[in-house]
Amino acid sequence: MKKLRALVVVLAVMALTAAGTAFVLGRTTNHVAAKTVAAAQSGARQDGVKVHGHWTVDVRNPDGSLASHNEFENALVAGHGNVALAQLLARMHSVTSWRIVTTSLDGLQCTYGSYLDRCEIFEPSIPGGNLTVSSPTTVENFGKLVLNGHFTAGNDGSLHDVTTYIEMCPPTYTPGQDCIGETRGSDVTEPFTSKTLDPVVSVANGQQVQITVVISFS
């Protein structure tokens, strides 16, 4: 009889221990699952393709000495830059060229041969253009888009806004092939990234403005 009571006590203890272990494991599993769901939801809110534009603007005197060095970040132009990306990825357009356009509120203009005009940098396909477009394969700026070029001021003034533009043609045109003026409405020009400068960048007559834009994705 004593042996029977002892066996009952042992079985009861084992049952309670198993129940307690199952309870703890259940709580632990539920807690881990809840944290996993929360992390996934948080990640869904934070994930997304981001476009970064890092600008370097150096103003140099006619003798080559540095007058000012300026660095800043800019943003994708909503409703334009994202549309251009989507259409390029969907093969609705091909890239014709890039250009860097500046805006001045105090009359800054640049020299283009014998005349003055708004300060901008365009590719060599346009006479006088010196803009280079590359995606380096070395460690520095690997996997990024790099635009680089310069212009010379024809009078005193300031840079107030800077914008990169992407010019596109129908997909039947090879990249770099110009369709402007060939078929009405066939060419599309979209502002890609832009920045309003604060403070502005001051430039004097005869100074050269060297601009590098590094566009990256994350």
pLDDT per residue as tens digits for the range 118-175: 999 999 988 889 999 999 888 788 989 999 999 999 999 999 999 999 999 888 888 8
Closest CA to 70 of 54, 53, 52, 58: 58
182-195 burial, b for 16+ CB within 10 Å, e for fewer?
eeeeebbebbbbbb
* pLDDT 10s digits, 74-115: 988 988 898 898 988 898 888 989 999 999 999 999 998 888
Burial degree of 128 (CB within 10 A; 0-12, 13-18, 19+): exposed
**Tokens linked to 130:** 């010196």
Distance CA 13, CA 18 (A): 9
Specify the residue for token string 């356009």.
Answer: 101
Burial degree of 167 (CB within 10 A; 0-12, 13-18, 19+): buried
Q: What is the DSSP letter of 15?
A: H
* pLDDT 10s digits, 175-199: 878 776 665 556 788 999 999 999 9
